[in-house]
């Protein structure tokens, strides 16, 4: 701005010295054009500043809205999520031979040592699908929600014939919520209610808390 001001002052001085010399009006015209240009820029700046301010306000409101929604989902997740209790009769209903690694994993799970249990699960080349629900819970407990969701989706896609299908649906829905995927969670909660399964009441309470 100081440079522009000095340029104007120099032009004015030269113009004053040349008053009466009609044959040379170039500096006067330049002065007029320069002043008009400065005026236009000033108007543009005055116009752009409110726009920038409004944009910033909208961005702030949008960010706060996301934060508020995520906080609600986090609170609901914390309220309604509890790890699946270990069914100690599961082994007798499954394969006749249970690997030492699986026994160790389930013992750790039963003690609430989910990180240890997950490490044991990860050492196995294959895990009986009836025990995979427990691996998914370990993933939830160790804050690995995307991996838990992927595993639970596989269990849900296996269909109602699998022993822990209803549990897989519930924990998938609650995991969607914990991962801030509200639309997916709401849709699955509604499906759980419609199917009149064992988690119907919990799903109804969860949806009510989210509205």
CA distance 33 to 37: 6
Please give the share of the chain, as a percent, with pLDDT higher than 90: 52
48-62, 67-81, 110-124, 125-139, range with the lowest pLDDT:
48-62
Residue 174 has pLDDT above 90, yes or no: yes
CA distance 211 to 208: 5
Residue 203 has pLDDT above 90, yes or no: yes
For domain 81-210, give the CATH superfamily.
Tetratricopeptide repeat domain (1.25.40.10)
Q: What pLDDT sits at residue 158?
A: 87
* Nearest CA-CA partner of 206 in 179, 193, 166: 193
- Residue tagged 């995520």 (tokens): 70
Domain boundaries, the chain: 1-72, 81-210
């Amino acid at each position: 701005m100081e440079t522009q001001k000095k340029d104007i002052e120099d032009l004015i001085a030269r113009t004053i010295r040349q008053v009466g010399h009609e044959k040379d009006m170039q500096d006067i015209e330049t002065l007029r054009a320069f002043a008009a240009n400065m005026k236009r820029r000033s108007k543009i700046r005055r116009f752009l500043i409110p726009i920038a301010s409004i944009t910033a306000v909208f961005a702030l409101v949008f960010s706060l809205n996301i934060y508020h929604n995520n906080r609600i989902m986090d609170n609901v997740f914390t309220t309604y999520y509890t790890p699946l209790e270990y069914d100690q009769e599961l082994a007798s209903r499954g394969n006749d031979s249970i690997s030492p690694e699986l026994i160790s994993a389930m013992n750790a799970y039963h003690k609430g040592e989910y990180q240890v249990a997950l490490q044991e699960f990860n050492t196995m080349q294959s895990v009986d699908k009836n025990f995979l629900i427990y691996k998914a819970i370990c993933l939830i407990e160790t804050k690995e929600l995307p991996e838990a969701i992927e595993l639970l989706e596989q269990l849900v896609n296996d269909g109602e014939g699998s022993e822990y299908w209803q549990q897989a649906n519930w924990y998938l829905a609650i995991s969607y919520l914990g991962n801030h995927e509200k639309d997916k969670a709401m849709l699955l909660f509604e499906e759980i209610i419609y199917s009149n399964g064992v988690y119907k009441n919990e799903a109804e309470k969860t949806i009510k808390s989210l509205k």
